[in-house]
Chains A and B, each alone.
Chain A
Amino acid sequence: MSRRSSVLRYVVLGAGALAFLFPFYYMVVGSLQESPDPTPAGAFPDPSNLTLDNYADIDGRIDLVQGLVNSGIFTGGVILGTVVFGVLAGYALAVLRWRGRGTTFALALLVQVVPFQLLMIPLYVLIARDYGLADSYLGMILPFAINSTAVIVFRAYFLQLPRELFDAAAVDGAGDLRTLWNVALPLVRPVLLTVVLITFIGPWNEFLWPFLITKDQSMQPLAVSLANYISNVAASAANPFGAVLAGAVVLAAPAVVLFIVFQRYFTSTNIDSGVKG
């Protein structure tokens, strides 16, 4: 029984893995085909039908490098804000004793309940119209610059550190900022990397907000310019699917590579503490 059920288990898991990975394989194959071949045979690359023209084609319509740079600045800004302000607030909530600490923690929990769709329209009015930050990196970054989940995660990790460490540092006369930088941060380095990884997914893949706030193509992250290409101009290209898939490969590759290289830091235990605090 045990052997048969073990085989069954791997059959189901293998079918799952195939269902998850096949579209990615098909994306790469489709991006290299000179003319799209939707028949089952088209899933196997035919050397005579392979070309890099689709990449040149999509690069001619939307500037891929500029798109990647914009995505990078947007993502980098969000990660920087999330980590710096998240560490500061998380440390204050976990280690320091100050008036308003309980209220601030309650606020961090409460804020997570407010869904983005309710804030979308007023944020657009405020940021794009009142503050005049349309078509700017700051306007893109602002709504995501600080993350309450990250604050709660950092708090949880700082709470696990032994209290004596901080008392000893205080006796040595170290200031709070120094203690945070020299004592606490080195001890939570693995979780720092996990937070950076999880934060990366959000802005790199975000579509709705940068789509609302950027009309100027030279400011658009790659996800937005590719989406505009899909919805507007795809019909006019020689091989629309090939060009779309080539753009998709360029957009997907950084995230996929990052998560394969650092898969060790994206484990279920880290996610668990990330979500439940």
Chain B
Amino acid sequence: MTVVDSGARAGGTSPPARHQKNARRQRARVLGRNPSGLLFSAPYLAYVLVVFAVPLGFAVWMSFHDYLFAAPGADVDRPFVGLDNYTDVLTDPDVRRSFVNIGIFLVINVPLTVVLSLVLATLLNQAVRARVFLRVAFYVPYVTASVAVVGVWLFLFSGNGLVNEVLGPLAPDPPWLINSFWAMPTIAFFVTWKQLGFYILLYLAALQNVPRELYEAAATDGAGRLRTFWSVTVPAVRPATVLVLLLSTIIGANLFTEPYLLTGGGGPNGASASPVLIMYQRGIEQGTPGVAAAIGVILVLLVLLVAWLQRRFVGGGES
């Protein structure tokens, strides 16, 4: 009896079975224990390739070329133009104006969103009665199409709309949406109102995870309501605040529907044009997608910069 033989017998497998097992182990080494996982994920991976990776590369490629629309199959020359699209974009007063506009929008929308949603969520969290009604009331604008509520805002904020009727002599002239000073702030208020419900829900979830002992300790120390809010609630929900800042910045930078419809395409005189609106005009209406792609790349880089600054100064690496 040899050592090898006894080893085989101890394993208790006959040679063909052992061979099969080896083959399975071999396959497991290459594809993993459950190769069907790859099969299950294949549609998702194909989708990421077709809808994200390829267009992303295409966007960057396009921004460095003089891209022309052509009939399918037609062979058109699309020369490499280096940074020409970028210099065009950066010297275009309309584009620069749109970046200033989106800056104004974010400066109003983001802080207002954080403050209002945190305050309303905190109050709602303490409320005992009518919780379901209030929660639903708060998120109804969020689940409704922008296009639908834009109709009502147009009516409310028109020259002789309800808002001006109530304000009387205090109403701005020309009215809100055609006033070059008020157009962008009005859009910012609209978007804050529309999205607030979602952020209230985010904060509600975060508030439910704040340990009760913190509030009890604050009460023992004799801290008042405002003081407790400021020194217990605000620090405890900081990860949620980081998330709200990030999401509202990204969603805000995507602004398109509201200036397109509320101010009739970014009016008056481009005072409420957003970068995505200009991308649509340049890329699709005027047929210069290379320029539009360059605006997109610049916009994304700026959003990444703002997000990085927010993370640096508000902190909270947990979320």
A binding-site residues for B, Cβ under 8 Å: 5, 9-10, 12-13, 16-17, 19-21, 23-24, 26-27, 30, 36, 38-40, 42-43, 85-86, 88-89, 91-93, 95-101, 104, 107-108, 111, 114-126, 129-130, 132, 142-143, 145-146, 148, 151, 175-177, 201, 204-205, 207-208, 212, 223-224, 226-227, 230-231, 241, 244-245, 247-249, 251-252, 255-256, 258-260, 263, 266-269, 271-272, 275-276
CA distance A241 to B162 in the complex (A): 13
A13 close to B124 (CB less than 8 A): yes
- A116 proximity list for chain B (CB < 8 A): 254
Q: List 15 A-B contacts (CB under 8 A).
A: A23-B152, A26-B152, A89-B43, A96-B37, A96-B40, A97-B32, A99-B30, A100-B41, A114-B56, A123-B51, A176-B40, A205-B146, A259-B143, A268-B202, A268-B208
- B108 proximity list for chain A (CB < 8 A): none
Partner of B253, one of A115, A126, A226: A115
CA distance A205 to B146 in the complex (A): 7
- B54 proximity list for chain A (CB < 8 A): 122, 126
Question: A98-B33, A256-B140 known; A244 and B257 CB under 8 Å?
Answer: no
Question: A26-B152, A226-B148, A269-B208 known; A120 and B257 CB under 8 Å?
Answer: no
CA distance A145 to B50 in the complex (A): 12
Min CB–CB distance B261 → chain A (angstroms): 6
B9 lies within 8 A of chain A by Cβ = no
Min CB–CB distance B86 → chain A (angstroms): 15
CA distance A43 to B163 in the complex (A): 12
A263 close to B132 (CB less than 8 A): yes
Of residues 120 through 177 on chain B, the ones whose CB sits less than 8 Å from some CB of chain A are: 120, 123-124, 126-127, 129, 132-156, 158, 160-162, 165-166
Q: Which residue of B lies closest to A142 (CB)?
A: B51
Min CB–CB distance B139 → chain A (angstroms): 7
- A208 proximity list for chain B (CB < 8 A): 256-257, 276, 280
Partner of B34, one of A17, A96, A151: A96
Partner of A23, one of B35, B153, B204, B279: B153
CA distance A212 to B196 in the complex (A): 27
- B289 proximity list for chain A (CB < 8 A): 121-122, 124-125
CA distance A36 to B261 in the complex (A): 20
A40 close to B166 (CB less than 8 A): yes
B55 close to A123 (CB less than 8 A): yes
- Among B16-24, B88-96, B180-188, B291-299, which stretch is in contact with chain A? B291-299
CA distance A92 to B42 in the complex (A): 10
A207 close to B144 (CB less than 8 A): no
Partner of B261, one of A91, A98, A124, A231: A231
Min CB–CB distance A147 → chain B (angstroms): 10
B binding-site residues for A, Cβ under 8 Å: 30-38, 40-41, 43-45, 47-48, 51-52, 54-56, 58-59, 62, 67, 69, 72, 119-120, 123-124, 126-127, 129, 132-156, 158, 160-162, 165-166, 193, 196-198, 201-202, 204-206, 208, 225, 243, 247, 250, 253-254, 256-257, 260-261, 264-265, 275-276, 279-280, 283-284, 289, 292-293, 296-297, 299-300, 303, 319
Question: A17-B134, A118-B299 known; A227 and B147 CB under 8 Å?
Answer: yes
Question: A27-B152, A119-B52 known; A38 and B160 CB under 8 Å?
Answer: yes
A268 close to B201 (CB less than 8 A): yes
CA distance A241 to B229 in the complex (A): 43
- B197 proximity list for chain A (CB < 8 A): 20
B205 close to A121 (CB less than 8 A): no
- A251 proximity list for chain B (CB < 8 A): 145, 147-148
Q: Which residue of B lies closest to A207 (CB)?
A: B257
Question: A227-B261, A268-B204, A271-B202 known; A88 and B300 CB under 8 Å?
Answer: no
Q: Which residue of A lies closest to B49 (CB)?
A: A107
Partner of B51, one of A40, A88, A107, A143: A143
